[in-house]
Amino acid sequence: MMGKDLFWAIRGGGGGSFGIILWWKIKLVPVPETVTFFRVGKTLEQGGMMSRISESKIPYPHRKGILFMIQYLTAWGDGDKDPERHIDRIREVYEYMTPYVFNSPRQAYVNYRDLDLGINKNNMCFDWPITDHWGIRYYNEDNFKRLCLIFICAATPTSPASTPENFIQCVSKNSELSVPVTTTLFTPNNSSFNSILDSTATNLRFLKPSLPKPEFIFTPLHDSQVQAAVICLRKLGLQLRLRSGGHDFEGVSYTSESQAPFVIIDLVNLRRIEVNIEDTSAWVQAGATNGELYYRISQKSRVHTFPAGICTSLGIGGYITGGGYGSLLRKYGLAADNVVDALIVDVNGKILDRKAMGEDLFWAIRGGGGGSFGIILWWKIKLVSVPEKVTVFRITKTLEQGAKKIIQKWQQIADKLDEDLFLKVTTTVANGTMIGQRTIATTYEALFLGNTNGLLRIMDHSFPELGLIKKDCVEMSWIETAAFLEGRQNGTPVEYLLQSKSIFKTFFKAKSDFIKKPIPDVGLEGLWERLLEKDIQAAIIWTPYGGKMSVIPESDSPFPHRKGIIFMSQYFNTWNIGEKHPEKHINWNRKLYEYMAPYVSMSPREAYVNYRDLDIGRNKKMNNTTSFKQSRVWGEKYFKANFDRLVSVKSEVDPDNFFWHEQSVPPLLNLRAIPPLNQKKD
């Protein structure tokens, strides 16, 4: 049996590469008894069904977007003494047509074979500079890479194994442990495949059956297996997707827009945590969650913690690579601001600590986004101090209770409050006082690093409009605030933090903004009007800045959103399973984002990389490169002027762009080619 990969390859991959076809079994199609035909002076081969078939269905990629195909044909007589002039003439015509045809790459039809495009010098498919030159024209890059991989598997008699088997053999050879197949590698034929794929993914939009699925999922048990996986995936020509917690808003950690075969490395088994209270530090493996980290620290000390996120099921590996904020950001800054060392697997499969990787790469991984520079294995983090007892409260105010006046005051003081006080606002829709009436509700949630009396003094002085009183306040240990801030019932046992999988799984779309000036009444009213639209389930979450965030320079890490930011705004909406028109909800979020443009940061309009949004730009990988110009569209929104330094680091550590995804930092071969970033003042 040839298998699905070889069957895919022979239907459009060109003759003479994979074997000798003896028979084809073809599908007949119906036609009318009488048909009509006509002849025109150009080829009309595209459109119709050709536009509806995916480029990756078979190796032949020339589908959607093609108006028509052109064939240039010349002929000459048997006795022509100068045939080269005819060949040269058609070459000139071909060159002349360059501006008018599809480029990047300039496509060609393999059955109209043209050796001018490139000729193999030997029988090795991965003589890439030669074969890539013509291969991507006939098949596009993703299809051609798959053909190359199939060629190696089909043409090497000593390696008849499938891709997963080749991978297992390679990993076993290159790691300290042999790979137990049944517990670490899952293919679509495995009964556990779907449950493993779905296990930590939170955005159900990207688990639809129609979306690309990985060739297999690998869940390594040891650091050396991660090293070996990088070596082997490069050797096999497979694209990598890396998952630590599965919370990527656009599903980048477990699906791919690229047509190329891809593999998920899921770090779910790498979750050790080693806490050293005497040194006020901890080593944390990338597969551990925020909740597990909080719990393990609390076992050693009730007055130490780490300034990580409110969502406790976040994987610490990816979370810190985006900066990572939580309820302690005004006191201690970001999670990435409190990292002192790391272990990373680089593109060559080597494990590097801070000293070995150098300060540039160490800078880049602390806020430059995941999946661009290597695979984080461990973070060494600095623990911070918290009181034995802290104070929390939650108060909701509707429009009828003066929400507009209160939130306007919050905007004036949110970034100026005592740095021991974190006070965020979530705006939603609630039932009004009349039956059937809907209104706007603003919920204020706070964590204060002190007792109730101290909190009341600050609130009475700075924010009396909220009307906080003593009975609204609850004192508890810091570890107990995790459940409170996550919206769980008071008294929830802290052991819930060890439940690593998120209970939040839904269809959603999210975007982010940073606000430098209070939003006026007219802006708020338009925002609320959109929230009240029919069938919309949404929340607007405002996270206060100031405090420590205003002290740390923008260039201290790739995360640049520091001084001058009053608060960050997240626009988050969901819809139910079975929704017939999900685009309606996605478009609602996009229109809201467009509406907010006059009230948020500008030039660039800043965004938070951990709230990934492919609407603001995405990489399009062609010819094994990513356009710097395309990447800069989204890169400066996430990183501002830091994007240029990230590109320089990427160019040094991963020049061939192995660690690639839709918003990975691109390499630039000529570093001097980076044009200056125009930064305008708001």
Residue 526 and residue 394 in one domain: yes
255 with 279, same domain: the answer is: no
d(CA 472, CA 232): 57
Is pLDDT of 313 > 80? Answer: yes
Exposed/middle/buried for 60, CB within 10 Å: 0-12, 13-18, 19+?
Answer: buried
Amino acid at 211: L
Give the pLDDT score at 670: 47
- 69-94 as b/e: b if 16+ CB within 10 A: beeeeeeeeeeeeeeeeeeeeeeeeb
Angle (CA) 256-258-263 rounded to 5° is 50
Judge whether 606 lies within some domain. Answer: no
Identify whether 498 is part of a domain.
no
Q: What whole-number percentage of the chain has pLDDT above 70?
A: 91
Cα distances from 632 to residues 33, 97, 629, in angstroms, run 57, 31, 5
- Lowest average pLDDT, out of 124-133, 275-284, 422-431, goes to 124-133
Q: Are 319 and 460 in the same domain?
A: no
pLDDT of residue 678 exceeding 60, the answer is: no
Residues 14 and 145 grouped into a single domain:
yes
Domain edge (last residue) among 350, 370, 385: 385
Residue ending a domain, among 266, 301, 323, is 266
Q: Residue 636: which pLDDT band, with cuts at 50, 70 and 90?
A: very high
Quote the pLDDT of residue 39: 61
pLDDT of 498-544, one tens digit each? 987 777 889 999 999 999 999 999 999 999 999 999 999 999 999 99
Give dist(CA 142, CA 619) in Å, integer. Answer: 14
Question: pLDDT at residue 129 above 70?
Answer: no
What is the rounded CA–CA span in Å between residue 581 and residue 267?
34
Position 607 scores a pLDDT of 98
- The string of DSSP codes covering 251-291 is -TTT--SSSS-EEEEE-TT---EEEETTTTEEEEETT-BHH
What is the DSSP annotation of 185-238?
A: EE-TTSTTHHHHHHSS--BGGGG-TTS---S-EE--SSHHHHHHHHHHHHHHT-
| Maximal CA-CA distance, the chain | 105
Contact between residue 223 and residue 267 where contact means Cβ atoms under 8 Å apart: no
pLDDT score of 548 more than 80:
yes
Q: What is the pLDDT of residues 591-623, one digit of tens each?
A: 999 999 999 999 999 999 999 999 999 987 654
In the numeric block, which tokens belong to residue 629?
Answer: 């110009």
Q: What is the pLDDT of residue 150?
A: 65
Tokens of 573: 């909406």
Question: Do 188 and 205 lie in a common domain?
Answer: yes
Q: β-strands 339-345, 351-352: how paired?
A: antiparallel
Active site residues per annotation? 611
CA distance 16 to 14: 7
CB 251 within 8 A of CB 201: yes
Q: 441 is in which domain, residue-wise?
A: 389-468+506-597
Helix or strand (DSSP H, E) at 674: none
21/560: higher pLDDT: 560
137 and 255 fall within a common domain: no
Question: Which residues, including other chains, have CB under 8 Å from residue 296's CB and lie 6 or more apart?
Answer: 273, 275, 282
State the pLDDT confidence band at 77, using cuts at 50, 70 and 90.
confident
- Encode pLDDT of 160-186 as tens digits: 347 899 999 999 899 887 777 668 999
Whether cis (ω within 30° of 0) applies to the bond prior to 604 is: yes
CATH number, position 187: 3.30.43.10
Q: Which pLDDT score, from 0 to 100, does residue 365 have?
A: 98
In this structure, is residue 326 part of a structural domain?
A: yes
DSSP, collapsed to helix, strand or coil, labels residue 242 as strand
- 181 lies in the same domain as 308: no
CA dihedral in degrees (292, 294, 297, 298; nearest 10)? -110
- pLDDT for 44: 44
| Whether the predicted pLDDT of 682 surpasses 50 | no
661: CB partners within 8 A, 6+ apart:
241, 252, 256, 371, 619
- The torsion angle over the Cα atoms of residues 342, 348, 349 and 355, rounded to 10 degrees, is -30
Total domains, the chain: 5
* CA–CA separation, 476 and 392 (whole Å): 8
Rounded to 5 degrees, what angle do the CA atoms 334, 371, 617 make? 90
Q: Can you tell me whether residue 456 is helix, strand or coil?
A: helix
Instruction: Compute the half-sphere exposure of residue 381: CA atoms within 13 Å on the CB side of its CA.
Output: 32
Q: Which amino acid, 238? A: L
**665 within a domain of the structure (yes/no):** yes
Is pLDDT above 70 for 676? no
- Per-residue pLDDT band for 671 (boundaries 50, 70, 90) equals very low
The one-character DSSP state at 158 is T
Nearest to 511 by CA among 405, 584, 592: 592
- The answer, yes or no, to whether residue 430 has pLDDT greater than 80, is yes
Flag the least confident range among 7-11, 202-206, 544-548: 7-11
pLDDT at 93: 87
- Cβ-contact 39, 174 below 8 angstroms: no
Round the average pLDDT of the chain to a whole number and report it.
Answer: 89
**pLDDT for residue 141 is more than 50:** yes
Answer whether residue 524 is part of any domain. yes
Residue 188: pLDDT band with limits 50, 70, 90: very high
Domain shared by 458 and 516, yes or no: yes
Mean pLDDT to the nearest integer, 439-447: 98
User: Looking at the chain, how many residues does it have?
Assistant: 682
pLDDT at position 43: 44
**Same domain for 144 and 176:** no
The answer to the question of residue 680 being in a domain is no
Report yes or no on 107 lying in a domain. yes
Asked if 215 and 163 count as a contact pair (C-beta separation under 8 A), the reply is yes
pLDDT at 318: 96
Which tokens is 102 given? Answer: 């599809």
Same domain as 51, residue 128? yes
Question: Which residues have CB under 8 Å from 392's CB, separation 6+?
Answer: 445, 446, 447, 448, 473, 474, 476, 481, 484, 485
Whether the predicted pLDDT of 216 surpasses 70: yes
Q: Which of 360, 385, 410 is the last residue of a domain?
A: 385
User: CATH number, domain at 381?
Assistant: 3.30.465.10
- Predicted local distance difference test score (pLDDT) of residue 517: 98
Tell me the pLDDT band of 103, cut-offs 50, 70 and 90. Answer: confident
Please tell me whether residues 410 and 422 are part of one structural domain. Answer: yes
- Decide: 208 and 164 in contact? Cβ < 8 Å: no
- What amino acid is encoded at 162 in this protein? S
As a whole number of Å, the end-to-end CA separation of the chain is 64
- Determine the pLDDT at residue 127: 45
Question: What would the mean pLDDT of 578-593 be, rounded to a whole number?
Answer: 95
Average pLDDT over residues 320-334: 98
8 belongs to a structural domain:
yes
| 394-403 residue pLDDT tens | 999 999 999 9
343-394 residue pLDDT tens: 999 999 999 999 999 999 999 999 999 999 999 999 999 999 999 999 999 9
Q: Average pLDDT in the 139-168 region? A: 66
Bridge partner list, 392: 447, 474
Q: Which long-range contacts (CB under 8 A, 24 or more apart) does 68-73 make?
A: 68/42, 68/43, 68/44, 69/43, 69/45, 69/109, 70/42, 70/43, 70/97, 70/101, 71/43, 71/109, 71/112, 72/97
Give the pLDDT score at 463. 98
Residues 434, 534 share a domain: yes
CA–CA gap between residue 554 and residue 601 (Å, rounded) = 15
- Of the candidates 71, 596, 660, the one whose C-alpha atom is nearest the C-alpha of residue 347 is 660
